[in-house]
Each structure stands twice: as structure tokens, then as C-alpha cells.
Structure 1
Amino acid sequence: MDIFNAGAGADPDSILELRVELVDSEPAIWRLFELRSSLALHEAHQVLQAAFGWEDAHLHRFLTSDPFAPLRPVNGQLPEVLQWLPGQECEEPGDRPEEDCSLDQLLTLGSGEAFYEYDFGDSWLHRLELVSRRPAEDDSPPARLIDGARRGPLENSGGFPGYEQIMDALADPSHPDHAEHASWVADITGSDAPFDPAFLDIPAVNRTLAEQFRRTQSGEKRRK
């Protein structure tokens, strides 16, 4: 299959309702978006960064299947796991530039499902699931968060095991590591306010997304 024509036949101006959940999060950490199907993967990356509170401080990749699931041989051979990276990070023959693939193409290749991994050390793996598709209107924004639950884990917290340890210590003032972790969280968040892992400010995320795309559009106009 030609991956760059994988979305052929799909409406380039459709709106995708997309559910994104952090794999293995308990309680579940998830987001529900309305996204233009024509978004390139590097733009989808920025959307996910804003929605989960990441700081774009680590490597990332998009994949058509779970990179940690056991592979089943097909005709005696292991299938290739397709992955898309920023163009400057493509080093292996099978690496594909994320700038050259749309969100719609990725989901088509994954039969309505895909994965996004951020920070290969902490390995925050997100499952992307297409919920529905509808025609876009002229004033439909490129990206909008419409629902979700819980804020994203903190950067550099050690994956879910480390993040859960930090949250346990924060919730218990008598915990021997409470003061140390409270200081670390304040440094990471830039605030001394109590950290609430259940808080999600959807309007703030949408303001960030709107500003991101405003800057992108302004830059494109200047280049023209």
C-alpha cells in the first residue's frame, strides 16, 4: 500500500472525533477531540502536547499499532511496525517523516486506531481511536478539546510507577518523602498551589490550541 495515498477517498475537510487515552492509566487519563482530518502528524503532535500538559521536551513517534504488543508472524515473517518521526529524527530505513503523513492517513492505515508515544524513557503511550467522522464547516477550528478526564502526568516523573509514587507521597503529609516531592512538583509546575491530578482545564487547553494555530497561520502568511 502507498502510505501517502492511504487516505485517498476520504474527505480532506472532514472533522474527526478522536478519543485519546494514556495506556495503562488508572484512573483513566483521556481526551476527546474534534480534529480536522487533514492535520499533519507534526500538528497532531502539538495538539496532544497541549492537551496532556506535556512540554515537548523529549522524542516522540506515531505508530499504526501498539509497539509493545507481541508480534504475530504473517506467512512466517514478523510484520513491519510503521512509525513516523520528525523528519530530522528519521535515521532507520523504515522511519517515515511525520510531516508527510496526515492524521487521516495514519488512522486509515491502523483501521481507525493508532498510537503516539512521548518520551521514550518514561514511555507515555497514547492510544488514538476514531469515534466518528462528519463534514467540516468553514469555521470549524483545526483542533478542539471537547471532553476529558484528569491532567496528564508530570514530565520526568518516571512513567506510571514513578508518577504514582509521587502522587501517593503528595497525598500523605506524614509520608517521609512528602516535602521532597512537594518541592519537586512546585518546581516542575512553577506553582506552590496544591497539585490536583484530577483537574483538567478544557477552556485553557482550547485557548492554547487556538493560539498555536493562529501563530502557524500567521507564519504561513508571512512566508507567502
Structure 2
Amino acid sequence: MAREIYQLRIALDGVDPPVWRRVLVPGAFTLDRLHRVIQLAMGWGDRHLHVFDIDGEQYAVPDPDGLLEVRDELDHRIDAVAAKGARLRYTYDFGDWWEHEVVVEDVVPADLGLRYPMCTGGERACPPDDVGGPSGYREFMAAYADPFHPDHEAMRAWLGRDFDPVAFDAGRAGTLLRRMT
């Protein structure tokens, strides 16, 4: 029997215009691997904690101090917690609080000629890590885009690289995803 491939649409909440990705991942991937797919496809730096919220249950790396009650994401496969049409929540960086809606758009048999996971589409660059969540990103963009803004130079120096908010390369995201397997 062919492996099942989940077509997921990952959309970042609280930013406009929308930032989203479409990925194809094996249903047998654990939520730990899905976390890595989201990080690479979106363009995050994987420097912060995260959690999945699926049907009222939370999945993450277990808290060694036991302060948070979560199910171990290593023990749960995508195909065991989601079906076609399911909507999952993924939160990254508990300080900036980046929420993502992950929708299972389709479940299809694997194409044996393809390597998974893969990124098949998306729009716009992911906000920089540590920018301050959706409101901080709006403030960052206002200053970064306007050379006359009083914080323009400070924002450019803080980021330390060029930033094009409309840039997204599905091919590059796909290359990063192929390297994870």
C-alpha cells in the first residue's frame, strides 16, 4: 500500500498581506518532524519553544520541570491526529507568540517518483525571529520600509541583512526540506 501524503496549508496569523506555505509531508511523520517542516518552509530560525494544539490536546517537547502538561510530539504521527479537513494550531515563540493555522487540504497516495517533504507554494517572506510578534512586525516594516522613519537605520542595523517582505522561493524551501530527511 502506498504511503499517504498530507497536503498542508500553513498560514501565519496576524500579518497582512498573508504569509503562507503549502507543503506535502508523509502522514507517518511525527509532530516533531512536522515542527521542523514548518520551521524550514516558513523560514523561522527554530530558536524558540513551540506547541501544537489539536482538538484541545497540546503536543510539544515535554517540559522537564513538569510545569506544562503536553503530549510528547515524538510519540504522535500526523496521520494519527489529523485527517483531511482538520485544522491544527501551531504556536512558535512564546514571547512573540506567532500562531499558525495548519489545514489538512488533502490526503493522497505518495508519488513514488517524488521525495517528501516538499514545498509546492507560498507567498511572502516570513517575519524575522524576535521582531516582537505581529504588532512588532508591523512596527518593524513601517520603519524598515521608510528611509525617513526615525527608527529606519536602527531596524536595518538590528536585522543585519537585507529583507524583502514579498520574497519567497518555494524551490529553496523545498531544498531545505529535502535536506532534513
TM-score range, shorter chain: over 0.9
Q: Does 1:147 align with 2:121?
A: yes
Distance 1:89 1:129, change over 3 A: farther
Unaligned runs of 5+ in 1: 1-10, 66-80, 214-224
Instruction: State the distance in 2 between where 1:106 and 1:157 align.
Output: 32
Distance 1:55 1:17, change over 3 A: same
Q: Which has the higher helix share?
A: 1
In the TM superposition, 1:1-224 aligns within 5 A as: 13-65=3-55, 81-87=56-62, 91=66, 94-108=69-83, 112-186=86-160, 191=161, 194-213=162-181
What is the TM-score with the length of structure 2 in the denominator? 0.92
- Per-residue deviation, 1:93: 7.7
Kept in 2, the 8 Å contact 1:20–1:126? The answer is yes
Name the SS for the 2:103 alignment partner.
Answer: strand
Give the conservation status (yes or no) of the 8 Å contact 1:106–1:114. no
Structure 1 pair 111/83, CA: closer, same or farther in 2 (3 Å)? farther
* Cα displacement (A) at 1:90: 7.8
Letter in 2 for 1:182: R
Q: Name the SS for the 2:82 alignment partner.
A: helix
Measured after TM superposition, the shift of residue 196 of structure 1 is 0.6
Whole-angstrom CA distance in 1 between matches of 2:77 and 2:62? 14
Q: Give ranges in structure 2 of 5+ residues lacking alignment.
A: none
SS of the equivalent of 2:139 reads helix
Matched position secondary structure for 1:16: strand
Aligned-CA RMSD value? 2.0
Q: Look at both structures and tell me which one has the larger radius of gyration over its CA atoms.
A: 1
One-letter amino acid of the counterpart of residue 168, structure 1: A
**Does the Cα contact within 8 Å between 1:12 and 1:37 map onto a contact in 2?**
no
Q: State the Cα deviation string for residues 172-214 of structure 1 (Å, max 9, x = none).
A: 111111110111111xxxx3xx31111012111111111111x
Alpha carbons of 1:59 and 1:151: their partners in 2 closer, same or farther (altered >3 Å)? same
Cα gap change, 1:92 to 1:139, in 2 (>3 Å): farther
CA contact (8 A) 2:85 2:103 kept: no
Looking at structure 2, the residues matched to 84 and 126 of structure 1 have their Cα atoms a distance apart, in angstroms, of: 14
TM-score (norm: length of structure 1): 0.75
Kindly, what percent of the aligned residue pairs are identical? 31
* Conservation of the 8 A alpha-carbon contact between 1:39 and 1:142: no
Runs (4+) off by over 4 Å: none
After superposition, the Cα gap between the structure-2 partners of 1:16 and 1:89, relative to the gap in structure 1 and judged at 3 Å, is: farther
- Residue type of the alignment partner of 1:196: D
SS of the equivalent of 1:48 reads: helix
Matching residue's letter, 1:204: R
Maintained 8 Å contact 2:52/2:88: yes
In structure 2, relative to structure 1, the CA distance for the partners of 1:87 and 1:12 (3 Å cut) is: farther
- Residue 111 of structure 1, CA deviation: 5.9
